[in-house]
């Protein structure tokens, strides 16, 4: 039978619950319909919180972190660019502060896309937030210190499975520049004595606590029981760095990378933690481990007009 007023078909996508995005006080919060959430401060495009559906926070944040844009944020995922650590003398980055300017500049929120608009038809279980920083947005001081024309596009993708952060570096000028880059991820853990860091065995590392001397990792499951500040070099990015439980060897976090072949493992331990004015409480070093995916052992040279991309994907224990 023909009906004169057929109801129009409702697309499946239209009925899907959508991620919620709020933008206030210079931070963006995104929550998936399934309950996972992420918060990103425009200052440094620093991811300051990542919660699972059960409300459990996955990133460590110091109680004395400055969230007002007066200092780089102590916790979450600060972005390190264009230099890692104290800049070397007689280098294009020499006048920049430690870890460069990306973590202490105000980024722009460029917008979001959901899994539906990303082309995944049958579900809407992820959201991607894009942030940008370019030379025109830098303070005069930073522009003078590093006078290159660049663009950074940083994407933070939250899904039920995990969190991905991806950085594209563009050279918009007409001269080459060198850069280093790192995602300085502070993972939240219950007890530093109860974790082991795996998949570093036989890899070469620079030990920054021992005058930057070179060593080979001999442990299949690294225990952190003192100040640790190591740059593991030339890793296979597809092999995840696993933070595992010492008790049952189960992964608590796994970190895979693309284009980021070095990984820094950092824990300040007792004295360094006390010495950092923005690190609190003093014994919070027991509650964090930094697994920092980067390209920091040498320099990436980016030719005029070219771009480069690197990313990390963090899976939590679900």
Active site residues: 184, 292
Footprint of ligand BG6 on 55-94 (CB under 6 A):
72, 85
Q: How far is the CB of 87 from ligand BG6 (least distance, A)?
A: 12
- Of 59, 62, 85, 96, the closest CA to residue 276 belongs to 62
Contact present, 215 and 207 (Cβ < 8 Å): yes
Residue closer to ligand BG6, measured from CB, 36 or 229: 229
Q: How far is the CB of 44 from ligand BG6 (least distance, A)?
A: 11
| 74 among annotated binding-site residues | yes
Residue closer to ligand BG6, measured from CB, 242 or 273: 273
Pattern 173-212, ligand BG6, x by CB under 6 A:
-----------x-----------------------x----
Buried b or exposed e, range 279-304, using 16+ CB within 10 angstroms: beeeebbbbbbbbbbbbbbebbebee
Sole binder of ligand BG6 in the list 229, 257, 273, 311 (CB under 6 A): 229
| 98 among annotated binding-site residues | yes
- Compute how many residues bind ligand BG6; rule: CB under 6 A: 10
DSSP conformation class of 210? T
* β-sheet bridge partners, residue 301: 178
Burial tier of 99 (Cβ tally within 10 Å: 0-12, 13-18, 19+): buried
Q: How far is the CB of 247 from ligand BG6 (least distance, A)?
A: 28
> CA dihedral in degrees (106, 231, 297, 62; nearest 10)?
10
Q: Rounded to whole angstroms, how far apart are CA atoms 195 and 217?
A: 17
Residue closer to ligand BG6, measured from CB, 94 or 98: 98
98 near ligand BG6, judged by CB under 6 A: yes
Sequence-separated (6 or more) residues with CB below 8 Å from residue 3? none
Sole binder of ligand BG6 in the list 99, 128, 286, 315 (CB under 6 A): 99
Contact present, 162 and 315 (Cβ < 8 Å): yes
292 near ligand BG6, judged by CB under 6 A: yes
Pattern 10-49, ligand BG6, x by CB under 6 A:
----------------------------------------
Q: How far is the CB of 128 from ligand BG6 (least distance, A)?
A: 26
Footprint of ligand BG6 on 260-279 (CB under 6 A):
264, 266
DSSP conformation class of 238? T
Q: How far is the CB of 262 from ligand BG6 (least distance, A)?
A: 11
Residue closer to ligand BG6, measured from CB, 159 or 205: 205
Q: How far is the CB of 165 from ligand BG6 (least distance, A)?
A: 16
* N-terminal to C-terminal alpha carbon distance within the chain: 51
Residue closer to ligand BG6, measured from CB, 127 or 290: 290
Q: Scan for tokens 């390190």, then name that residue.
A: 80
Q: Rounded to whole angstroms, how far apart are CA atoms 188 and 272?
A: 18
Q: What are phi and psi of 22, to 5 degrees?
A: -125, 145
Residue closer to ligand BG6, measured from CB, 99 or 198: 99
Contact present, 131 and 154 (Cβ < 8 Å): yes
Contact present, 36 and 56 (Cβ < 8 Å): no
284 near ligand BG6, judged by CB under 6 A: no
Q: Residue numbers of the site for ligand BG6 (CB under 6 A)?
A: 72, 85, 98-99, 184, 208, 229, 264, 266, 292
Instruction: Please give the annotated binding residues for substrate, written as ranges.
Output: 74, 98, 103
Going by the annotation, the residues of the binding site are 74, 98, 103
């Amino acid at each position: 039978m023909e009906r004169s007023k057929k109801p129009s078909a409702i697309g499946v996508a239209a009925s899907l619950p959508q991620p919620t995005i709020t933008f206030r006080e210079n931070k963006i919060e995104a929550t998936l319909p399934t309950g996972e959430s992420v918060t990103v401060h425009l200052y440094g495009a620093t991811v300051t919180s990542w919660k699972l559906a059960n409300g459990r926070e996955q990133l460590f944040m110091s109680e004395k972190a400055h969230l007002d844009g007066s200092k780089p944020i102590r916790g979450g995922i600060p972005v390190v660019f264009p230099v890692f650590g104290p800049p070397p003398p007689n280098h294009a980055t020499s006048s920049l502060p430690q870890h460069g300017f990306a973590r202490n500049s105000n980024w722009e929120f460029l917008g979001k896309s959901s899994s539906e608009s990303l082309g995944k038809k049958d579900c809407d279980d992820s959201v991607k937030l894009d942030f940008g920083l370019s030379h025109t947005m830098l303070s005069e001081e930073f522009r003078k210190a590093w006078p290159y024309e660049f663009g950074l596009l940083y994407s933070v993708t939250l899904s039920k499975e995990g969190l991905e952060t991806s950085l594209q570096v563009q050279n918009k000028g007409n001269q080459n520049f060198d850069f280093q880059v790192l995602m300085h991820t502070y993972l939240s853990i219950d007890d530093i004595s109860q974790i082991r860091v795996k998949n570093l065995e036989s890899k070469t590392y620079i030990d920054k606590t021992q005058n930057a001397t070179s060593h080979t990792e001999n442990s299949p499951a690294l225990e952190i029981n003192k100040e640790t500040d190591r740059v593991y070099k030339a890793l296979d990015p597809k092999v995840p760095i696993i933070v595992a439980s010492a008790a049952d060897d189960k992964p608590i976090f796994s970190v895979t990378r693309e284009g980021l072949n070095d990984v820094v493992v950092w824990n300040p331990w007792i004295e360094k933690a006390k010495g950092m004015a923005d690190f609190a409480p003093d014994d919070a070093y027991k509650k964090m481990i930094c697994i920092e995916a980067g390209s920091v052992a040498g320099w990436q040279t980016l030719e005029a007009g070219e771009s480069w991309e690197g990313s990390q994907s963090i899976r939590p224990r679900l």
